[in-house]
Chain A
Amino acid sequence: MGAMQWLEATAFSAYLRESLWTYPIIESIHVLGLALFLGFAILLDLRLLGVGMRHVKVSELTERILPWTFVGAGIMVVTGILLFAGDPAKFYGSIFMRIKFLMLGAALLNAWYFHHSSDYLIRLPNWDGSMATPTRAKVAAVVSIVMWCLIVAMGRWIAYFLPA
């Protein structure tokens, strides 16, 4: 908790907090990053579920679209840290912020687990172009969609229900 008070006392944090335009501009970029990150992640999930992007192979999406979701994630992390730095003690104390971080961990673990599963690492060539995707891919996709949508909800509610 001492670290949060230290951060809050820095001139940088005060600048973010008191700026007229900087903070809303960072918020806007955070939401634009959402379109890139969440949008492309959902397209990949729909393909893994076998319900969308039927003419595109799974490997094409993971090779050519996944790098863009990393760009989106990078934008979200950098702008997210800046937003946090504007009012660190309050955000640190927010229950929704804490739930959001737990869910971020779970969502990343889910993605990591699927990308290191034998269905993806070894057997992908068998189902790469098919809409009949393995159960493990479908489960990973549903977990991914649910988790990222809940993370959006937690993020929105942080600003509504800040501790006094």
Chain B
Amino acid sequence: MLIELTRWLEHSALGQGIHNSSWLFPFIEVFHLIAIGILGGAVLLIDFRLFGWGLKRHSASELSRDVQPVLNIGLVTLIVSGFLLYASEGAKMYFNSAFRFKMLCLLLAVVYTFTWHRRIAGRSEDPEAPPNAKLAGALSLLLWLCVGLGGRAIGFI
């Protein structure tokens, strides 16, 4: 089912256009990389606060509210640019174990970020870190790290 969709996407005008262009793929990759920076900055700011580093005068909940739009923009840019890269050579990536690992970690990271992580960060209004804060921050960093390393490994497997 997914592989049929992937093949269809690869043979669509969109997939073929990117695949046949000499500069579109690296051009889209730049957006993917900049989005890593944008999402990474937002995630790190919250996780650092959960560790008790950085902007200690603000509660984790206040910081995560301030930084949420930045996180969302980074994530959407990552997914859109990643989808375009996938459209151009999806069938190759579909069978790549690093890509599958990355997608699994991405799913876990996104679900985790918008559920438990958000609840822990949002629980406390006072500047003291909420309970389980360090664990929540470490799990977030670990999941996003796996997404990144999985992405880097796609080209090497």
Contact = CB atoms under 8 A, between A and B. Distances in A.
Interface of A: 24, 27-28, 31-32, 34-43, 46, 52-56, 60-61, 64-65, 68, 149, 152-153, 156-157, 160
Residues of B contacting A: mostly: helix
Interface residues of B, number: 34
Contact of A52 (B43, B69, B148, B153): B69
B66 A54 contact: yes
Interface in B30-49: 30, 33-34, 36-45, 48
B62 A34 contact: no
A38 B34 contact: yes
Contacts, number: 101
A41 B42 CA distance: 11
B67 interface: yes
Residues of A contacting B: mostly: helix
Contacts of B48: 68
23 contacts: A28-B148, A34-B37, A37-B37, A38-B37, A38-B38, A39-B37, A39-B40, A39-B45, A42-B37, A42-B41, A52-B66, A52-B67, A52-B69, A52-B70, A55-B66, A56-B55, A56-B63, A56-B66, A64-B55, A65-B54, A149-B30, A152-B37, A157-B26
A152 B30 CA distance: 7
B45 A27 contact: no
A153 B37 CA distance: 13
Contacts of A56: 55, 58, 63, 66
Contacts of B38: 38-39, 42
A54 B68 CA distance: 12
Contacts of B54: 64-65, 68
Contacts of B39: 35, 39
A155 to B, nearest CB: 8
A9 B145 CA distance: 35
Contacts of B40: 32, 34-36, 38-39
B152 A55 contact: no
Given A68-B54, A152-B30, A160-B26, A35 B44 contact: yes
A27 to B, nearest CB: 7
